Structure 1
Amino acid sequence: MGTISPPKSVLLLVAISSRYAEALDWACERITSEFGLAGAVSPAFEFTETDYYTETMGTDLKKQLLVLATPIDPGGLPGVKRLTNVWEAEYAAATSHPESRPLNLDPGYLTLAKLVLASTKDHAHRIYLSDGIYAEVTLSYRAKAWHAFDWTYPDFRRTDFQAFFTECRKLLRPTAAN
C-alpha cells in the first residue's frame, strides 16, 4: 500500500486571450493582484489556430501566457477557474466592447512533468475535480521535450508556447534547463 502524502506545489498558469491589449493588461493586473508576482509573462502571441472563438470574441485574437512566481497547491485549481470565470464576466460588463466575451481566461498549472488545464466541460480525457471543474493533462514533459496528446489544443502544440513552458520549468527547479 502506498503512503498518502500532500501533493507537491505547482506553478499557476493562466492563458489570457483577447483581441484587446487593454484586456490582456487588465487580466495580468487582476491575476497578479490576487495571486502575487508573475514569474514569467509571454509575449502576446497571435492566436490563429482556431476560429472557435470568432462568434463570441471576434477576430485578430492574441494569447498571452502568465505563470505566477509562487507555487500553489494544485488542489486549489477549481477555485481559480471559478474566479477567472467571474473576472471574464466582470470585464465584459465593465467595458463597451461589442463582443459578448472580450476576454477569455484559462487557468491551469505547470509541473516539471506536465501542464494541466482546467475546464468547465467534461470529456472522456478529463477528470472531475470539484465545484463543476474538470482538469486535463494537456502536455507531458519527458526526454527533454514537451509531448502533446490527441486532445491537446493546437496552440499548445506550438514550439514558441513550449519554449516558454520550458523556461517556466526553471522556476520550479532552477537546474531544470530542459
Structure 2
Amino acid sequence: MGVILKANSVKLIIGLIGKEEIFNRVKKILIQKFGGIDFENPVLDFNFTDYYELEMGGNLKRQFLSFKRQILPDKVASIKIYTNSLEKRFSAAGGRRRVNIDPGYLTLSKLVLATTKDYQHRIYLGKGIFAEVTLRFKDKSFREWEWTYPDYRSREYIDIFNYIRNNLCGKKERK
C-alpha cells in the first residue's frame, strides 16, 4: 500500500487577457488576495485566437503573474471560482467580460491550469472546476501536449514559464 503524503506547495500563476488598461486594477485586487507578485512579463499582444474578440473586442493583450506566496495545489479550484467572480465584477454592461483571469500553478515538473470546461484530458476538482496539465518539463524545458493551446506552445510563453520555474527552484541543477 502506498503512503499518503502531504502535497508540496506550488507556485500560483495567473494569466490575464484583455485590454491593458484594466490589468493594473485587476492586479491590485489579486495582490490584496494572494500577496505580492514576484514576476510579471511585459504585456504581450494576444493574437493566437479570435475566441475572445466578440466578447472583449480586438487588440487584446496577455500578461502572466507569478506570486511570492505559494499555495497548496488543491486550492486552485477555489482560486478559479474567485477569479471568475472577479471577471464578473469587471464585466461591462450586459455581462460581457472585459478581462479573462486564468489561475493555475507551476511545479518543477508541470504547469497546471484550472478551467470550467470539461474535456477528455481534464480532471474534475469539484464545484464545477477542472484541471489540466498544460505543459510538462522535459529535457530542460517545458514541452506541450497534443491538447496544449497554441499560445502556450509558443516559444515566448514557454520562455516565461521556464523563467518562473528557474526562479522557483533557484540555481539548483534541474532535471
TM-score calculated relative to the size of structure 1:
0.93
> What RMSD over aligned residues (CA atoms) do the two structures have, in Å?
1.6
Partner residue, 1:167: 163
* TM-aligned CA distance change 1:99 to 1:154, over 3 Å: farther
**Paired residues for 1:60-79 under 5 Å:** 60-79=59-78
**8 Å contact kept, 2:114–2:132:** yes
Which residues of structure 2 form unaligned runs of 5+? none
Partner residue, 1:138: 134
SS in structure 2 of the partner of residue 64 of structure 1:
strand
Whole-angstrom distance in 2 between the partners of 1:114 and 1:49: 22
Partner residue, 1:29: 28
Whole-angstrom distance in 2 between the partners of 1:175 and 1:7: 23
Whole-angstrom distance in 1 between the partners of 2:173 and 2:118: 34
CA shift at 1:22, angstroms?
2.3
Which residues of structure 1 form unaligned runs of 5+? none
| 1:106 and 2:102 correspond | yes
| 1:11 and 2:7 correspond | no
TM-score calculated relative to the size of structure 2:
0.94
Partner residue, 1:88: 87
State percent identity of aligned pairs.
Answer: 39
SS in structure 2 of the partner of residue 39 of structure 1:
strand
**8 Å contact kept, 2:88–2:95:** no
Following TM superposition, the consecutive aligned residue runs of length 4 or more in structure 1 with deviations greater than 6 angstroms are none
Q: Cα deviations across residues 104-127 of structure 1 (Å, max 9, x unaligned)?
A: 001000001000000001100100
